[in-house]
Amino acid sequence: MMKKKQWFAVGMSTMLFGSVLAGCGGEEKTAKNENKGETKEEQVEVTLAGWGGNPMEQKLLKQTLDEFEKKYPNIKVKHEVISDQYMDVIKTRLIGGEGPDVFYLDAFEAPAMIETGVLEPLDDYVTDDFDINDFEKPLLEAFKGPDGKIYGFPKDYSTLALFYNKKMFAEAGLDVPKTWDELREAAKKLTKGTEVYGFGVAPELARLYYIAESKGGKVVTDNKATFADPKVVEALQPIVDMRLKDKSAAQPNEVGAGWGGEMFGQQKAAMVIEGNWAIPFLQETFPNTEFGTAEVPTIDGKKGTMAYTVAYVMNKDSQKKEAAWKLISFLTGKEGMKIWTSKGFALPTRKSVAAELGYDKDELRAALVAGAPYATVWQNGTNLPIIMNNFNNQFVSAFLGEQPLAEALKKAQDIANKEIEAK
């Protein structure tokens, strides 16, 4: 082990150095490929990188790509799956000049990536046929740069919805909560000591952002953290109180679960707020847990939820931009998106596709689709990663009762802003 650690220190710097070397090698390789291309026929190979999904999702993507290759026989797609530390790998490869032509980009990471200028603006490629107005507007906005250009087209999204255990609700004789106050009351009744908690909480900014802003406060203002605002504290206090005063809420690791979906599936929480990804997971892993979904309860009569979206973006240094665009436009076009979202693992970002597939009438997914128009997209400027990290750290400690929430958030805000200023 000792040796390994020493190697890490060396490895860190070697990686840097190595990436420089890799950069030189990369250019040669692409040049060679081009020569080959000229001598043969106009066969192009486009690389597409993304993270892996469950086997079903992989199959769907394969199917979509097969369709694409059928339509454009001269373009071959090389699909690369980066299974872990996706952004680290992508950044390193882009630095080394070995970046894929087309890759996935989470909206959360988008502003910082757009700022560095490694992404190709896509406006000039768009044709009328592509029908850009068909996309859900907030999701498309997430990939607009400060220059107003579009750098990526969202491939799918998910919002959050309330997942509730039907059996527990029936036993307690409760209705599905419509407001946050109702949820709090229901959670109290559903809690059975430390065996079953009424409500499973993910104490993370990514999941709490819309709640934090529900009373008029702002988490981020002008790319700086402002979540110590009393209005934000007031909005988040009920969640902390649910754990500390009501003892009706817990985070997944308190009951030995890895995340909310697992906690809910193991029947250790009667309610959780999760996204589309939890539906296939629960159906496959916990077929005995009967559950329903509903829209996230309202706060002060206002609806709110989060939306997470991922886009296909193009590498600015790509040598095959025309082919890369053809791939993006097919994958995010009506035809490709319909295949990709046909099984409901992901929700379509195009209104026409959503209408055609009828998810707004699906028993489990209707609540998620209904959230799209009023959802807050999980993204806010280039400094959100720093802000998130500091928020999460201190919020957990307040959630566990180590310090008052207002104090925790003040501390987190100060540290975050100091870090931002030093940048």
Partner 1 sequence: MFSRKRWKEAGTAYTLLSPTLFVLLLFVIGPILFAIYLSFHKVQLLGGASFEFVGFDNFTRILDDTRAKIALWNTVKYVAIVVPTQTMLALVLAATLNAGLKGEKFFRIVYFLPTLTSSAVLTLIFMWMYNQNGLVNHVLQFFGLPTYNWLGDPSVALNAIMIMNIWSTAPFFMVIYLAALQDIPDSLYEAAELDGANAWHKFWYVTVPYLKPVTSFVVIMGLIGTFQLFDQSYIFSGGSGGPNNATLTVVLLIYQYAFKSLGTMGYAAALAFALAIVILLATWLQRKFSKEESLY
45 binds partner 1 (CB under 8 A): no
The span of 44-52, 176-184, 271-279, 382-390 binding partner 1 (CB under 8 A) equals 382-390
Task: Please report how close the Cβ of residue 238 comes to partner 1 at its closest, in angstroms.
Answer: 21
342 phi/psi in degrees, rounded to 5: -65, -30
| Number of residues in contact with partner 1 under rule CB under 8 A | 48
Kind of pairing between the strands at 249-250 and 197-200: parallel
Q: Does 214 bind partner 1 (CB under 8 A)?
A: no
Asked if 27 interacts with partner 1 (CB under 8 A), we say: no
Residue 25 touching partner 1 (CB under 8 A)? no
φ and ψ at 348, to 5 degrees?
A: -70, 140
* Dihedral sign, Cα of residue 161, residue 163, residue 164, residue 167: positive
Contact assessment for residue 241 and residue 201, using Cβ atoms and an 8 Å cutoff? no
Query: Of 1, 55, 70, 173, which one interacts with partner 1 (CB under 8 A)?
Result: 1
Rounding to the nearest 10 degrees, give the CA dihedral for residues 96, 101, 106, 111.
70
Residue 386 binds to partner 1 (criterion: CB under 8 A)? yes
For residue 276, state whether it binds partner 1 (rule: CB under 8 A): no
Q: What residues between 75 and 94 interact with partner 1 by CB under 8 A?
A: 87-88, 91-92, 94
Beta carbons within 10 angstroms of residue 304's beta carbon: 21
Cβ at position 124, least distance to partner 1 in Å: 19
Burial label for 216, CB within 10 Å (0-12, 13-18, 19+), is exposed
Which of these segments, 100-108, 251-259, 338-346, 361-369, binds partner 1 (CB under 8 A)? 251-259
The DSSP call for residue 382 is T
Q: What is the identity of the amino acid at 363? A: E
Separation CA 285–CA 301 (nearest Å): 35
Q: Any contact of residue 112 with partner 1 (CB under 8 A)?
A: yes
User: By CB under 8 A, is residue 254 in contact with partner 1?
Assistant: yes
Candidate segments 73-81, 296-304, 356-364, 396-404, binder of partner 1 by CB under 8 A:
396-404
CB 259 within 8 A of CB 282: no
Smallest gap, in angstroms, from Cβ of residue 156 to partner 1? 24
Query: Should residue 269 be labelled a site residue for partner 1 when binding is judged by CB under 8 A?
Result: no
**Is 406 near partner 1 (CB under 8 A)?**
no
Q: Which residues contact 217 (CB under 8 A, 6 or more apart)?
A: 226, 227, 229, 230, 231, 232, 233, 234, 235
The binding site for partner 1 (CB under 8 A) comprises: 1-2, 4-6, 8-10, 12-14, 16-17, 19, 87-88, 91-92, 94-95, 112-113, 115-118, 251, 253-256, 316, 385-386, 389, 392-394, 396-397, 400, 402, 414-415, 418-419, 422-423
